Structure 1
Amino acid sequence: MVAAADAQNYAQKLGIIHGLVVQELGWDEDTNDDLRAEIEETIGSELLDEDSDEVMDVVLLWWRDGDGDLVDALMEVTGQLSDEGFVWVLTPKTGNSGHVDPSEIAESAPPAGFTQTSAISLGEWAGSRLVQPKAPSKQR
């Protein structure tokens, strides 16, 4: 399956590839079903919900203004995230109901143990990629 050279799907934009374990948190009726379907097709399985106890490669966190404390929500996902795993905080774009100011994400990441590495546009949603800083390697 080869997409047109200029057409990059949402899963590719998010760095999601076949075989990754992806958890979805914060699903609601306003989430982007096309994005969800593309990710499931790409990884070859369904998105896992908050009840899963598997180690995650990627966590998709749909987040809206009024959803609570973002630092707390991010801290909850760290225990199940693989060493190389990352989190996408997906928020409604400016002008849409539930919009979250990007500074809130930038300020919430460090106390939860994350660094923001990039931001992308996903239709009506914006995505902020968060990673856990690499621990210094210990020599024996």
Structure 2
Amino acid sequence: MGQSTSAEGGAAQRLSLQPGQVVQELGYDDDVDHQLRDDVEALTGEEMLDEDAVEAVDVVVLWWRDGDGDLVDALVDSLTSLGDNGVVWLLSPKSGRPGHVAPADIEDAAPIAGLHSTSSIAATADWAGTRLVSRGRAG
């Protein structure tokens, strides 16, 4: 059975994605939200690219957990393929879940990487999202 039109894109709509946008996914592991991944591909009409992609992308989805390493380095790496006016969505486990990243840690790391946090959302039941853009851009 197909999804209803109103549900198409589901959680991906909360990320303000648009049809035709190219999305790169970093930090994939077994714990990612597979429904969100499916929603991103359904809404954009494009398969998500992996960390080996070399073309410019519109959006980077970075799955990040406490213990994954250095967040500043990961954010800097996320900019490698990001095109002008691109957006990084940092997805981290919600409070109380294994791997939770404190919002203060994200707020501390973002400016060092040249990014600015513009909004935070409940991306899925288990993952919080923080929208990051290049410093100097408000939206």
Using the size of structure 1 for normalisation, the TM-score is 0.89
| Corresponding position of 2:87 | 86
Deviation of the 1:48 alpha carbon: 0.2
| Corresponding position of 1:124 | 126
Overall identity of the aligned pairs, in %: 50
Q: Report runs of 4+ in structure 1 exceeding 2 Å deviation.
A: none
Deviation of the 1:8 alpha carbon: 8.0
| Corresponding position of 1:138 | none
Deviation of the 1:134 alpha carbon: 3.9
| Corresponding position of 2:101 | 100
- RMSD of aligned residue pairs (Cα, Å): 1.7
Distance between the aligned counterparts of 2:135 and 2:98, measured in 1?
A: 32
Deviation of the 1:82 alpha carbon: 1.0
Deviations 1:61-120 (A, max 9, x none): 000000000100111122321111000000001111111101110100001000000000
Query: Contact 2:26–2:62 at 8 Å: present in 1 too?
Result: yes
Structure 1 segment 1-140 matched on structure 2, within 5 A: 2-3=5-6, 9-121=10-122, 122-134=124-136
Structure 2: gaps of 5 or more residues: none
Structure 1: gaps of 5 or more residues: 136-140
Distance between the aligned counterparts of 1:66 and 1:128, measured in 2?
A: 18
AA aligned opposite 2:78? V
AA aligned opposite 1:131? V
AA aligned opposite 2:12? A
Give the secondary structure class of the aligned counterpart of 2:6: coil
Larger radius of gyration: 1
Give the secondary structure class of the aligned counterpart of 2:89: strand
Instruction: Count how many residue pairs are aligned between Structure 1 and Structure 2.
Output: 133
Deviation of the 1:123 alpha carbon: 1.3
